[in-house]
Amino acid sequence: MRSTFLAALAVATAAAGEPAKQERELMHTTVTVVIADPLPDAGLAKAFDAAFAVFADIDESMNEWKSGSALGLINAQAGGDPVPAPPNLCAVIKLSLDGAKRTNGLFDPTWAALRGLWKFGDGEAHAVPSDDEVKRVCALIDYRKVALAVDPKKKDGSCTVRLETPGMKLGLGGVVKGWGVDRAAAALRALKVKNFFIQAGGDLYFGGKNGGRPWRAGIRDPRGPPEKSFALLEVQDRAFSTSGDYEHFFVENGVRYHHIIDPRTCRPAPASRSVTVLAKSGTEAEFLTKAAFIAGGNDGIALAERLGATAVIVDANNEVHLSRALAPRIELSPPSP
């Protein structure tokens, strides 16, 4: 049986003769690993443990929700002295800043200062913040005010990080799950696992094939029920990331306010309903998904392609925009109005 995987949703179960699957709760999301190689039980257990260990390490050092994590300490010291950071955290911050530069700030890892301004969580009182509140917090959003320094005498990849302004915060949620997917894929390949699938929230990586053919991935219909997809495409050895305005949102006076914030305005980005990016790495797919969502439509497609990726965008008017390179391997149906 060939399973279809719906981005940002749970995946199909495994039975005899089908891929083996495990799920664990890490990084405030469900992490899923599926292995399609015919491995013995001991080999499967070793492979699953290696993949999940990557995400457990990330959860410990890069979780901005944990005050004692290395990232939490950097945020707590904003406006003060540089803070030492371990190699993995340095690598992800460097990739985040690079993504911000390459997208001209459409992706910005200092978005985390906005936490608490827009309340999209379950049980929170939803309200549109005042213009003054938005302006005050928006002054803290600027990736160019993050200083990362590497001591040339140290060869382990560690660094120091300083946030220039008190109140600034780094949030790596816009890239760290994709980085984790990349590292988990590398861990599986180091164990000679060739055919696999990894998902952490809306970030996925499809390695090799499933049953001798490319994996099939579905893109969620942004206005349909959660289990409905409007596009199916074949994916092989590519990362796959989807962001949509349906994930966390509220509606006030007929306007949908969602969690994908334009760092230039510090307000929900209005150009798109859903964006899916396919790239060589999960890190690139994740930051490009956010940036292409903000750019929207043909501009978002052009941005993804300029940086070596492909994309599918449902814009605010429910029109579908598609990288030409995807046309031969995608099945489209009109998304729900």
pLDDT digits (tens, 9 = 90+) for 261-276: 999 999 999 999 999 9
d(CA 220, CA 319): 15
Going by CATH, does the domain composed of 4-59+175-332 fall within 3.40.50.620? no
CATH of the domain spanning 70-174: 1.10.3980.10
pLDDT digits (tens, 9 = 90+) for 188-210: 999 999 999 999 988 999 999 99
d(CA 68, CA 66): 5
pLDDT for the residue 127: 87
Give start-end residues of each CATH 1.10.3980.10 domain in the chain.
Answer: 70-174
Phi, psi dihedral angles at 334 (to 5 degrees): -60, 130
Name the pTM for this structure. Answer: 0.92
pLDDT for the residue 6: 53
What string of DSSP letters covers 32-67?
A: EEEE-S---HHHHHHHHHHHHHHHHHHHHHS-TT-T
Angle (nearest 5°) at CA 130 between 129 and 131:
120
Nearest C-alpha neighbor of 89 from the set 186, 171, 163, 200: 171
Q: Name the band, by pLDDT with cuts 50, 70 and 90, for residue 17.
A: low
Give start-end residues of each CATH 3.10.520.10 domain in the chain.
Answer: 4-59+175-332
Q: Name the band, by pLDDT with cuts 50, 70 and 90, for residue 7.
A: very low
Angle (nearest 5°) at CA 131 between 126 and 134:
70
Across all residues in the chain, what is the average pLDDT? 92
d(CA 321, CA 280): 20
